[in-house]
Amino acid sequence: MRALLSVVTGPPTILLTTGLVVLLCFWLLVAAGLTSVGTFDADANLRAWGMGGVPVAVAVTLLTVVAWFLSVGGLLLLAVCTPPCAVTGLLSMVLPVAALPVAWRLTCLFVRPLHQLFPDEPGPPDEPGVPGRGRARDRADHAA
């Protein structure tokens, strides 16, 4: 438990932990009816990032949660399996940063099935070569 607390509140994972706290407060405001899920939709377009099809708040929440779990899990594994040394210290700083692109790719995969829950949101970006998605579907929609 002490190792978990140390990892969650230690640098650089504290940045992701802080993001989770902010997101928790946002979702509490949504649950209380003081704001809506689509509050940030006009501020950012996530289609270019491969996360279109859901509200911005949902995509950012997924990205932050996945990055946090990858970072904390990797750092706990590093703390348990390796002795403390300079290389371990360097890896503990690089691992959370490396977790972000992995979390982004996983979030892109998680968002696609969630698009069905948010039919009013613009869909994911074009995917050439994937049947039923992308430019061919868009052309068929415009032709009808």
Q: What is the DSSP string of the chain?
A: -HHHHHHHHSTTHHHHHHHHHHHHHHHHHHHTTSS-GGGGTTT---GGGT-TTS-HHHHHHHHHHHHHHHHHHHHHHHHHHS-SSHHHHHHHHHHHHHHHHHHHHHHHHHHHHHGGG-TTS--PPP-TTSTTSTHHHHHHHHH-
What is the mean predicted confidence (pLDDT) over 50-77?
A: 88
What is the mean predicted confidence (pLDDT) over 124-135?
A: 46
Which residue ranges make up each domain of the chain? 2-143
Q: Poorest-confidence range of 19-23, 68-72, 93-97?
A: 93-97
pTM over 0.85: no
